[in-house]
Structure 1
């Protein structure tokens, strides 16, 4: 069940609640999102829900069709290839631009937190939150507004696909998450633009290969 929204008529909060529910798996891929039911659960107007769903559609998490309503996006291998190919290009550019600008100590703290999480057996979803924070830090460091906006437009879809990757094969994710991010910090520290670009792109492509294999099964 969805939690009631704290303030009535706030589309952004409705979007936040529905997004969280999608990420939790309450609304699986392809699930219908009905305005009347969502409004009742959130205790907001249908207009607020409609605006909230429009926010999520701009993020790529849901899709609307005439006479068919709104539903959560499907997670197919084709969708994964489209999302991750765009992400790879963005990651390569972001890591290159972040050289000499990004807070390396902050990135190291995030990787250390991932390593502690593995040792302490935290849920993979907690590791993913640190993972996304790591990449958010790199994008923000670039100072490139359009690049940051491009990442924000894709971020929710990446998060959902990565959650799916974890749920289908969390051991594979846990085996690589620390080492791959530690290597990114090393390359950023050395200022090796070509090397960090290639590794950042491969970091994304390897995630795609893992997810595509899981989805095909």
Structure 2
């Protein structure tokens, strides 16, 4: 991790730096988190790190393990299964609304296709971090295009946990092409205004991702 520049709100800076390291896999599941070591790595005092860890525990990204102290939370297959079930319903709704939203009819194709192009470029380069970023961006774009801000708001708390799981699942390169072919099919349905098909494809895509995640985490 890079040291952070001195700013007024060091707690949020420390929170952001540690959170990013957890989501990127730089700090893998079960990594011990010591306040002194983390403060030294970030170039700040222990106090903002201590406060940042409290916030991360509330998000479920840091856990206490008795005498072992604090560590990066393990990936919980059952919780992720539950989160993907909720996301399936949200993505179905988002895709349906995006297909029906007259305010974005002229722009939705360009927005989604640009993200797909980024994702396919990341796949070709074998850039896992960029691939995950593009995958998340596609679904966030669907939420925005739906015109219903409550969809993104409802999903927001789940994303950190799913991003961590996505990195594990997408280490299997055989899934990469499927992701973007699914996204292209969803995009085509959204552009054509076929709400039922867009919703069905989006839900099926998330269900498949959830099943792959659960399978990968319970097999290891």
Aligned residue among 123, 129, 133 for 2:127: 123
Within 2, Cα distance between the matches of 1:96 and 1:58?
Answer: 33
Report the CA distance shift for 1:189/1:20 in structure 2 as closer, same or farther (over 3 A).
same
Aligned residue among 150, 155, 159 for 2:159: 155
- Summarize the alignment of residues 38-49 of structure 1 with structure 2, pairs less than 5 Å apart: 38-49=38-49
Report the CA distance shift for 1:86/1:59 in structure 2 as closer, same or farther (over 3 A).
farther
Structure 1 residue 68 displacement after superposition: 6.8
Q: Secondary structure at the match of 1:188?
A: helix
1:202 matched to 2:204: yes
- Summarize the alignment of residues 136-175 of structure 1 with structure 2, pairs less than 5 Å apart: 136-167=140-171, 169=172, 171-175=173-177
For the 8 Å contact 1:92–1:201, the answer to whether it is kept is yes
Report the CA distance shift for 1:26/1:90 in structure 2 as closer, same or farther (over 3 A).
same
1:104 matched to 2:113: no
Q: Secondary structure at the match of 1:71?
A: strand
Task: Identify unmatched segments of 5+ residues in structure 2.
Answer: none
Q: Secondary structure at the match of 2:170?
A: helix
For the 8 Å contact 2:98–2:145, the answer to whether it is kept is yes
- Summarize the alignment of residues 178-197 of structure 1 with structure 2, pairs less than 5 Å apart: 178-197=180-199
Within 2, Cα distance between the matches of 1:36 and 1:93?
Answer: 45
1:103-161 CA distance string (max 9 Å, x none): 2211111112223343x433132122111111121222334333222222111111111
For the 8 Å contact 1:60–1:156, the answer to whether it is kept is no
Q: Secondary structure at the match of 1:32?
A: coil
Comparing 45-54 and 61-70, the one that deviates more: 61-70
Structure 1 residue 54 displacement after superposition: 3.5
Q: Secondary structure at the match of 2:71?
A: strand
Structure 1 residue 39 displacement after superposition: 1.6
Report the CA distance shift for 1:66/1:145 in structure 2 as closer, same or farther (over 3 A).
farther
Structure 1 residue 185 displacement after superposition: 0.4
1:3 matched to 2:2: yes
Within 1, Cα distance between the matches of 2:28 and 2:120?
Answer: 30
Task: Identify unmatched segments of 5+ residues in structure 1.
Answer: none
Q: How many residues are matched?
A: 213
- TM-score normalized with structure 1 length: 0.85
Report the CA distance shift for 1:10/1:60 in structure 2 as closer, same or farther (over 3 A).
same
